[in-house]
Amino acid sequence: MPDLRLRDWRAYRALSQADLAQHSGVTKSTIVSLEKPDRRTPHPRTVRRLAEALGVQPHELYQNPHEQENAG
């Protein structure tokens, strides 16, 4: 499975980890963990919650936000 691009999307939306945690209902510690290079595989429900908070489809979290912008 491709890598989750959570940090890229969070920066693209200009959100801090705390902001994203508040908007998604996912703990900040989970977000920190998912942004690490040796991160664990996220639960599909977590991906859906993060995607909703970031205003994208879950599969888009595995793509570069700047590529999405150019493709649309």
Q: Is 67 part of a structural domain of the chain? A: no
Total-model pTM: 0.88
Q: Is 23 part of a structural domain of the chain? A: yes
CB 48 within 8 A of CB 62: no
Residue 26 belongs to domain spanning: 6-62
Per-residue model confidence (pLDDT) at position 16: 98
Q: Is 42 part of a structural domain of the chain? A: yes
CA nearest neighbour of 21 among 1, 44, 57, 46: 46
CATH of the domain at 54: 1.10.260.40
Report how many domains make up the chain: 1
Secondary element (H or E) of residue 50: helix 44-54
How far apart CA 17 and CA 70 sit, in angstroms, is 25
Quick: pLDDT tens for 3-32. 899 999 999 999 999 999 999 999 999 999
Quick: pLDDT tens for 24-38. 999 999 999 999 988
Q: Is 71 part of a structural domain of the chain? A: no
Quick: pLDDT tens for 49-68. 999 999 999 999 999 998 76
Q: What DSSP assignment string belongs to 2-23?
A: PPP-HHHHHHHTT--HHHHHHH
